[in-house]
Structures are given as C-alpha cells and as structure tokens.
Amino acid sequence: MAKTLAQEFSKGLWEELPPFRLVLGLCPTLAVTKSVENGLGMGIATTFVLVCSNLLVSLLRNVIPAKIRIACYIIIIATFVTVVELLMQAYAYPLYLELGIFIPLIVVNCIVLGRAEAFASKNTPVYSVADGLGIGVGFTLSLGALGAVREVLGEGTFYGMQVFGSSFEPFTFMVEAPGAFVCLGLMLCLINLAGNR
C-alpha cells in the first residue's frame, strides 16, 4: 500500500500516461497539437489546474459531503480554470488566442475530474500534489510528442524552426483534423506495442 512520493509521481509518466494509457482527455489532445508550442502550452495549463485542484480537493476531502462531491469538485476546477484563463490573457496572449475555446474547456477535461475523484478525494495533500504533477507532466510530454510529429510532418518545422530544406513539401493532412485522429491512433498502437512486451 505504502507507495513513495516518487512512485506516485512517476506512475503518471508511464503506467498511467494520460492520453495513451488512460484514454481520457482526448479533445484537447487532438485539437491543440498542431504544433509543439501549442501542445506544451496546453499541457502546462492543464498541469497547473490539475495540481491546484488536487491539492484543494485533498485538503477539503473530509469537509465535502459525499452526495454533492462531484458538483463541489467541478466548482473547484472551474475556479482554477478561470485563474489560468486570466493569467494567460495577461502574460501569454498569443498562445491564449491560439488555444481559444480549449482553455475554458479544461473544466470538462475528464483527466482533471478523474484524478480528483479517483485519487485526491482519498489521499493526503502531499501525495495528491505528487499525483497531479506526475499526471500533468505525462500529459504535457504526450501532447508535446504528438505536436512534434504533426508539426514536423505537416509543416516541416520544429518549434517554428525549419527542419527540412526548402524542397520539402509538407503533408498538410497531418495538421488537419483527419491527420490528428490517424496520428494519435498510430501512436497509441506504438505505445501498446512497447508496453505489452
């Protein structure tokens, strides 16, 4: 039972790697990974919400009545999402415009609510923060990786820098919606292949 803090943190990086192992939070995964920058930005915003909401849910876990707990969690999460939204408007406005509607939609990201319900409501604050941080970092890295594949193939760039020579003809397919689905499907296949050894 007694897991160390490091184990709680590292399980989010492989065993429970969010969009691949737990198939949750697919909408932002598909929508914002047109480029590495967007993917990482979205991941960091989600991590912030995840850590803060896990902490608060865990602190309040003995106060919140069981019957209305989901409603309470949603209000806590929505509060932190509003905080992120306002922070991004102030300090990262271009990224805020780029991510658009998907910032307020962190509220309905099943990963955040899932961790609050499955982990933070039963564990102490320190462990909940470690769990939130682990899952958040895993999510950020996954989005970054997916963004990298799509940006390199679809635009021929990596983080805005040219990768191939000027003769490279980008596969525009990869940055459009169909490419997002196919790319995520194939990456999931690779992860399954590596994990089932």
**Rounded CA separation 193/12 (Å):** 19
Shortest distance, position 126 Cβ to another protein, whole Å = 27
**Rounded CA separation 100/5 (Å):** 35
Our finding on whether 182 is near another protein (CB under 8 A) is: yes
Q: Of the candidates 64, 69, 30, which has an alpha carbon nearest to the alpha carbon of residue 149? A: 30
Alpha-carbon torsion, ordered 133, 134, 138, 141, to 10 deg: 50
Q: Which pair of structure tokens corresponds to residue 94?
A: 């271009």
Q: How many residues bind another protein (CB under 8 A)?
A: 42
Phi, psi of 157 (to 5 degrees): -130, 165
Shortest distance, position 79 Cβ to another protein, whole Å = 7
Q: Which is nearer to another protein, 59 or 75 (CB)?
A: 75
Q: Can you tell me which of 26, 92, 145, 148 binds another protein, judged by CB under 8 A?
A: 26
The count of C-alpha atoms lying within 13 angstroms of the C-alpha of 90, restricted to the half-sphere facing its C-beta, is: 6
Q: Which is nearer to another protein, 31 or 148 (CB)?
A: 31
Q: Which is nearer to another protein, 60 or 105 (CB)?
A: 105
**Interface with another protein in residues 57-96 (CB under 8 A):** 70-71, 74-75, 78-79, 81-82, 85-86
**Interface with another protein in residues 85-144 (CB under 8 A):** 85-86, 101, 104-105, 107-110, 113
Sign, CA dihedral 88-91-95-98, equals positive
Give contact residues for another protein (rule: CB under 8 A): 23-27, 30-31, 70-71, 74-75, 78-79, 81-82, 85-86, 101, 104-105, 107-110, 113, 176-186, 188-190, 192-193, 196
